[in-house]
Amino acid sequence: MMVGVSVDDLYGLPREEFIPARRELARQAREAGDKEGAAAIEKLAKPTTAAWLVNRLAREHPDEIESLISLGDELREATGNASGSELRALTRQRTELIGTLVGLAGGTKLTDAITRELEDMFTAAVATPEAAEVLRAGRITTARDLAIAPTWPGLSLSPPSKPAAKKPAEKPKPRAKPDDARARKAAARQALAEAKAQVKAAEAERTAADKAIRKAEDAVTAAEKRVRDLNAELDAAEVAELEARRTLQLARRDAKEAERAAGLAWRKMQQIEESSGD
């Protein structure tokens, strides 16, 4: 057990040491008379594997983390101002840097789920300065800690369109004949009907997309709850394991003491028998 561990230090420890260190830190707070602080410490969630890897990167590779944060600043500044080629270059740089960070975190040893979670957290840190600060602090428990609404709407990879050239003023056209006017009205009605049909189709697609989003959000919420439940079960199992190890250690100590006492008693018995025989 580490002595003098702070709350910030908890997130830099090996993941399996988080629960014992948290318990010790809460005990120290209670002994110091800080009951509220102890209660708050006991509620600190154990980081997921991906979050723990990111916290470790923030401490062991701060330069690479700062490079990612700086790139996010550049991307936000470039959005809406830079050319398409500049945005594409920055986007490629973002992809490469995130890949480098994932490699530093564990590379090919990572599962696909953990890799995606790492990529999501790094992408969030690029998207908003608030998420970047969370990443820099290195006290993340889940990817949701960085789920902050972006301050820019995303990156457009197409160059900004040029303003349309002004057309020379057209000469007044001769007044149309009645037949031409009727034809134009019919064409306008047809165009309006087609536009209404397109609007209706677009609204139907939007409704379907909204349903898909809600369904996906529900799935994410359920998955996150499952992760929290599993983490709680894992925490309880780790506590039970520690208690079992402590009980085993005490039992072994008691067994050694009993064995030593039995040896002393046996030798004393022999001495008595020998003296009685004389």
Kindly list the domain boundaries of the chain, sorted by start residue.
7-42, 49-146
Neighbours of 29 (CB within 10 A): 19
Of 88-92, 108-112, 159-163, 245-249, minimum mean pLDDT range = 159-163
Proportion of the chain above pLDDT 90, given as a percent: 38
Are 116 and 110 spatial neighbours (Cβ–Cβ below 8 Å)? no
Task: Quote the tokens at residue 273.
Answer: 């028998």
Q: What is the pLDDT of residue 110?
A: 87
Q: Does this model's pTM top 0.85?
A: no
Q: What is the pLDDT of residue 82?
A: 66
- Looking at per-residue pLDDT, the higher value among 198 and 30 belongs to 30
266 has a pLDDT exceeding 80? yes
pLDDT average, residue stretch 156-174: 47
CA 117, CA 147: separation in Å to the nearest integer?
12
> Exposure pattern of 138-157 as b/e (b: 16+ CB <10 Å)?
bbbbbbbbbebebeeeebee
Cα separation values, 215 from 152, 203, 208, 211, 220, Å: 25, 18, 11, 6, 9
pLDDT average, residue stretch 206-211: 66
177 residue type, one letter:
K
Picking from 103, 104, 101, 107, the residue whose alpha carbon sits closest to that of residue 121 is 101
Averaged pLDDT of the chain: 80
Q: What is the pLDDT of residue 130?
A: 94
